[in-house]
């Protein structure tokens, strides 16, 4: 799908919304965590913008996925930590001491095609990527949160979050980057918590790592016209934001007086993957309702 170089630089991929795109061959975006919450909202926003979306998730496709496309792949899956089940939350949210949630929870949105895979299983992930084939954009939205204060940190929790937030992104992008077309897009879903938050040091460390990785990849891929950015949500209005398990650290309303909506993160992702964002790369876009003010 990559175009020929023009005027010394790469020609952009035929993104939705551009005259170069053939309506019968939509650009393909790969979205992790697409079965729920922010990941699902991103998948829905991209489909609305004209993308064909391949979702990767440890959970089955939502009912609307089956009704819309009937497309699923892979065996019954465990969650991204190798455990069955688990809940969901938003990017930038938290749990009570020692609690855990999926980072981008909820149940809305749907992809064009859904692949069940444990993203922390390198072999399974690479095999799934081979089955998926060529894509024009990658969005890594899968994740979860575990929290604890100093003196109670569990190394296993830190390692589990690192594997899904950072290592899975590393395996994913390393596998697809060689075949991405010039002008492709990569987006990592981070968190405003990457700047640091009491009781969330392990989670913050993994999300902060995404910023350094994204900027490094942005510099490496810039000659090919490929952009790499991070969306860093604050507390986002997903069902798990109101989970009783997080009673020890309830979310605080930002200055705007409401939580971020998942579809607002989806809209930012759709913009970053669209034709108007071709000169934005190596950036962290914070969407927090003014919580950073």
Q: Which of 51, 110, 144, 203 is catalytic?
A: 203
**Rounded (10°) CA dihedral 92, 98, 102, 104:** -10
How many other β-carbons are positioned within 10 Å of the β-carbon of residue 30?
A: 26
* d(C-alpha 133, C-alpha 30), whole Å: 10
Q: Contact at 8 Å (CB) between 230 and 195? A: no
Active site residue 203: yes
Rg (CA), the chain: 18
**Count of CA atoms in the C-beta half-sphere (13 A) of 144:** 26
Terminal Cα distance for the chain, rounded:
42
Residues identified as active-site: 203
């Amino acid at each position: 799908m990559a175009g020929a170089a023009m005027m010394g630089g790469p020609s952009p991929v035929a993104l939705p919304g551009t005259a170069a795109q053939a309506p019968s061959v939509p650009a393909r975006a790969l979205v992790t965590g697409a079965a729920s919450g922010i990941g699902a909202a991103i998948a829905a926003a991209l489909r609305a913008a004209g993308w064909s979306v391949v979702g990767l998730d440890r959970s089955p496709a939502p009912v609307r996925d089956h009704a819309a496309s009937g497309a699923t792949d892979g065996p019954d899956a465990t969650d991204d930590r190798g455990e069955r089940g688990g809940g969901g939350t938003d990017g930038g949210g938290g749990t009570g001491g020692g609690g855990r949630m999926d980072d981008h929870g909820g149940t809305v949105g749907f992809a064009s095609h859904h692949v069940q895979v444990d993203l922390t299983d390198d072999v399974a992930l690479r095999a799934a990527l081979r089955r998926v084939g060529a894509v024009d954009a990658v969005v890594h939205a899968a994740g979860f949160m575990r929290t604890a204060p100093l003196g109670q940190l569990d190394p296993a929790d830190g390692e589990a979050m690192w594997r899904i937030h950072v290592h899975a992104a590393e395996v994913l992008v390393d596998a697809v980057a060689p075949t991405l077309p010039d002008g492709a897009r990569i987006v990592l879903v981070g968190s405003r918590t990457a700047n640091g938050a009491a009781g969330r040091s392990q989670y913050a460390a993994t999300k902060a790592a995404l910023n350094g990785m994204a900027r490094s990849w942005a510099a490496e891929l810039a000659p090919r016209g490929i952009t790499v950015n991070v969306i860093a949500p604050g507390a986002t209005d997903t069902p798990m934001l109101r989970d009783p398990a997080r009673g020890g650290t309830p979310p605080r309303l930002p200055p705007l007086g409401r939580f971020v909506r998942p579809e607002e993160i989806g809209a930012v992702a759709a913009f970053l993957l669209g034709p108007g964002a071709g000169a934005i790369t190596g950036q962290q876009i914070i969407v927090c309702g003014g919580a950073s003010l």
